[in-house]
Amino acid sequence: MNRRHHKQLKRAKLLDQGVQLLMEQGYHGTGIKDILSAVDIPKGSFYHYFSSKEAFGAEVIHHYIEPFIQQLESFLNQPDLDPVTALQRYFEALIEELMDNDFKGGCLLGNLMGEIGDTSDTCRKALQEALHKYRDKISQGLIQAQEQHLIRTDRNAETLADFIVDYWQGALLRMKIERSPAPLHTFMTQVFEETLPP
């Protein structure tokens, strides 16, 4: 294994651990020492990978959202599913996973928006970019659904996607305090039975 590849693997491990620790302890509750000890990297090595804790936080945000975008894309690309059904199946899979985790964690983006969204410009920008990227992927599915006359067309797809993202984030926060899937089921009903139909 060459040195560059080894460094990329270490960096990926740091980001994976960062997602886990920030979900469990929050940004302010997670120290650089916690991150490094979890992946067995010497304390002085952190700055070989990231210029600051803020820069690390921003990278963790981008690292976190990518699997969700890829998962959503895989549902939208299934030839046997129309785009509305694909979106439904995607959110149903997320809800099932949250139930398996006993409603803990929620969404790292929502957690960090509440904790540092207005105190760190670097992380705020990363959160904004991640949310927009996620919103845009949902919007792609909605555009397809509008073209197939499966959903309403009196509102543009981006506006509908913004509504879905905002509602989902709120439902996740409510789920965490109630330890119940009820807010998520209400989200599904409101989005797919009340808001989107033509």
With bands split at pLDDT 50, 70 and 90, how would you rate the model's confidence at 129? Answer: very high
With bands split at pLDDT 50, 70 and 90, how would you rate the model's confidence at 44? Answer: confident
pLDDT per residue as tens digits for the range 71-96: 999 999 999 999 999 999 999 999 99
Sorted by sequence, the CB contacts under 8 Å of residue 161 that are 6+ apart come out as 135, 136, 138, 139, 142
Average pLDDT of the residues in 1-12: 74
The domain ranges of the chain are: 52-195
Q: Is the pLDDT of residue 111 over 60?
A: yes
CATH architecture group of domain 52-195: Orthogonal Bundle (1.10)
Model pTM greater than 0.85?
yes
Q: Is the pLDDT of residue 139 over 90?
A: yes
pLDDT per residue as tens digits for the range 46-55: 888 899 999 9
